Structure 1
Amino acid sequence: MKKVKTLISAILVFGFIASCKKSDSHKSITHPIAYSSNESGNREIYLTDTEGKSKIKITNYSGSDGYPEWSPNGKRIAFYAKYDKNKTWSIHTMNSDGTDRKRLTHAKNTWDASPTWSPDGKKIAFGRHYKNAEGIDQEEIWIMNADGSEQTRIEPLTGGSPCFMKDGRILFHSKSEDSEICIANSDGSNIITLTNNTAEDWWPKISPNGKQIAYSSDRDGNFEIYVMNTDGSNQKRLTFNTILDGDVSWSPDGNKIIFISDTEDYFDIYLVNKDGSGLKKIIDNGSQPSWFKAMR
């Protein structure tokens, strides 16, 4: 009889743990899109469902929070916060519910933004923008451990919006003024340039299967959303607007892309199929979206 009771207790405990895990997973699935918004008066980070109907505000900061990026396991979010009257931007991480907020970078009078997690979640790369002693803009890419230690500039790379690829290489746009979409090893070696024009090509993001890149370009006179293969071939324009479209993020299945579109007041977030069909607005007053993609 004692053995039976022990077995029943073990089953109940296991069932409770499984229920908790299912609940945590369910939460990440129902609110998989992180984004920033000034809906509350300050720029804060929110989570929402794929239709933009249910919103959860997970930060409460008197300054400005933005550029959220999910960790590979969905437990942490990297983002930036602004200090010193917006003169200093710093990279932070927090739990996906907004708890355990940690500041990782502290360089004054620099703009640290666009954090990206390595596939194993152990590293974070980010862009750093500042003016040097001569007043010339510097655009660098840095890498550090996920706890903020061992911060190192990737010396050969100039530009911004880094994005880790599945094989550990970094996708980024080169320094602005005729910027191009490029790929390099995480140490900055073997730089491959994928675009070649006199336009600005920005905000590249790799598809979940690693075969395509979505990005924004003003090559046709206005920033629009494009996709191409990872070797730079088959470049295709998806949007046709008279306002800026940018800041892309792929859906977990790689069939859809969300992006921001400029408006008179702020930005809105739209969704489009990767072939350019099915365009629709899903979030009013939102920018810098990141769609959680579960580890595969």
Structure 2
Amino acid sequence: MKSICFSIYLLLSLSVIGCTSHTQDDPPVLDRPHTIAVSAAGTKIYLTDREGQSSIEIPNVTGDYLAWSPDGKKLASRKYHDDGNTWSIHTMNSDGTNWKRLTHEKNKWDSVPAWTPDGKKIAFAREYKDSEGVWHAEIWMMNSDGSEKTQIESLKGSNPHFTPNGRIVFASEHKDKKNEISIADSDGNNTIHLTDNEAEDWHPEVSPDGKQITFMSKRDGNHEIYVMDIDGSNQKRLTFSDVDDWLPSWSPDSSEILFSHHADTGWDMYIMNKDGSSLRKIIRGRDAVFKP
């Protein structure tokens, strides 16, 4: 099962180097330099500066697939329950307070939360096997407090992300169930496939200026980071590694891309210009996102 195999890496445990731990009685001081949220493979969540030099742990919370709210005040994440058999979406303030579980469906995998541009709703992916052993990959929407959950029934796939004008870009099940990058209206209408190849394309994220999409693809043998225009044109490979590069994410000014690199010693976070230049490592971690 592709989804199960793809999720093996999520079970890896990592530690973040150079981070200061805080207890509940000693909350972190959040200031302007800490503009990147980093997950250590679902164990701990940190905030760091763009060079990875000053990092602080958000206390008493764990999770991955991090997503900032548009106002930068909250984080959404995915967390395991029931010994990993249930995945749920959670939200919290950026200092770890007001932690709240939003989805509770047992034996279903809810992940990859994405805020709407106005911050009022959250889209997420739900995957599960039904009673007949058939695998389902669905996209759901809910209010940011977890109420009014609704499946977008015409969208089959994962990894939703919103354009600035509210359309959904996602990894759609297409062409013998290989994931391709597609775009649709928020109600699921007017779906357009932006990529079409024999390999898997996954984890699209739209640039804040709405002009480009970064994504990961295995079309050249292993997972690498790519970029394309919002209409699917000008697809360009940005990384050239012998190992996997995953989970790209844009800077607020649409000029840089964060991504995770599977080094021999574990997962590292790298940053580069949107044309692939000025590549540099910033910190250990499995996924990371810039604060808006």
Q: Same fold (TM over 0.5)?
A: yes
Q: Does 1:49 align with 2:52?
A: no
Give the letter for the 1:212 counterpart.
Q
CA distance in 1, matches of 2:259, 2:251: 11
3-state secondary structure, aligned to 1:221: coil
CA distance in 1, matches of 2:254, 2:106: 38
CA distance in 2, matches of 1:273, 1:149: 38
Query: Does the C-alpha gap of structure 1 residues 246 and 199 become closer, same or farther in structure 2, counting only changes over 3 Å?
Result: same
Give the letter for the 2:150 counterpart.
T
The match for 1:130 is: 128
Shift of 1:178: 2.1
Matches within 5 A, 1:165-184: 165-175=163-173, 177-184=177-184
The match for 1:230 is: 230
Structure 1 stretch displaced more, 179-188 or 260-269: 260-269
1:213-265, CA deviations, whole angstroms, 9 ceiling, x for partnerless residues?
00000111111000000011100000000111111111111111000111344
Matches within 5 A, 1:179-190: 179-190=179-190
The match for 2:39 is: 36
Give the letter for the 2:76 counterpart.
A
CA distance in 1, matches of 2:157, 2:283: 29
Query: Does the C-alpha gap of structure 1 residues 30 and 217 become closer, same or farther in structure 2, counting only changes over 3 Å?
Result: same
Q: Does 1:139 align with 2:142?
A: no
CA distance in 1, matches of 2:84, 2:113: 18
Give the letter for the 2:35 counterpart.
P
Q: Is the 8 A contact 2:36 2:291 kept in 1?
A: yes
Q: Which has the higher contact order (CA 8 A, sep 6+)?
A: 2
CA distance in 2, matches of 1:269, 1:189: 36
Query: Does the C-alpha gap of structure 1 residues 28 and 232 become closer, same or farther in structure 2, counting only changes over 3 Å?
Result: farther
> What is the Cα-based RMSD across aligned positions, in Å?
1.5
1:177-223, CA deviations, whole angstroms, 9 ceiling, x for partnerless residues?
42110011111111011001111000100011100000000111111
Q: Does 1:148 align with 2:146?
A: yes
Structure 1 stretch displaced more, 197-206 or 28-37: 28-37
Percent of paired sites with the same residue: 55
1:113 corresponds to which of 105, 111, 120: 111
Shift of 1:27: 4.2
CA distance in 2, matches of 1:148, 1:266: 34
Give the letter for the 2:93 counterpart.
N
Shift of 1:29: 3.1
CA distance in 1, matches of 2:200, 2:226: 12
1:77 corresponds to which of 66, 70, 75: 75
Query: Does the C-alpha gap of structure 1 residues 29 and 69 become closer, same or farther in structure 2, counting only changes over 3 Å?
Result: same
CA distance in 1, matches of 2:32, 2:286: 20
CA distance in 2, matches of 1:239, 1:81: 29
The match for 1:157 is: 155
Which one has the largest radius of gyration? 1
Q: Is the 8 A contact 2:58 2:95 kept in 1?
A: yes
Q: Is the 8 A contact 2:140 2:152 kept in 1?
A: yes
**Unpaired stretches in structure 2, ≥5 consecutive residues:** 1-28
CA distance in 1, matches of 2:216, 2:63: 23
Q: Is the 8 A contact 2:30 2:95 kept in 1?
A: no
Q: Is the 8 A contact 2:260 2:270 kept in 1?
A: yes
The match for 2:262 is: 262
The match for 1:247 is: 247
The match for 1:291 is: 290
CA distance in 1, matches of 2:105, 2:242: 37
Shift of 1:28: 5.3
* More helix per residue: 1
Q: What is the TM-score of this pair, normalised by structure 1?
A: 0.85
Give the letter for the 2:286 counterpart.
S
Shift of 1:97: 0.4
3-state secondary structure, aligned to 2:32: helix
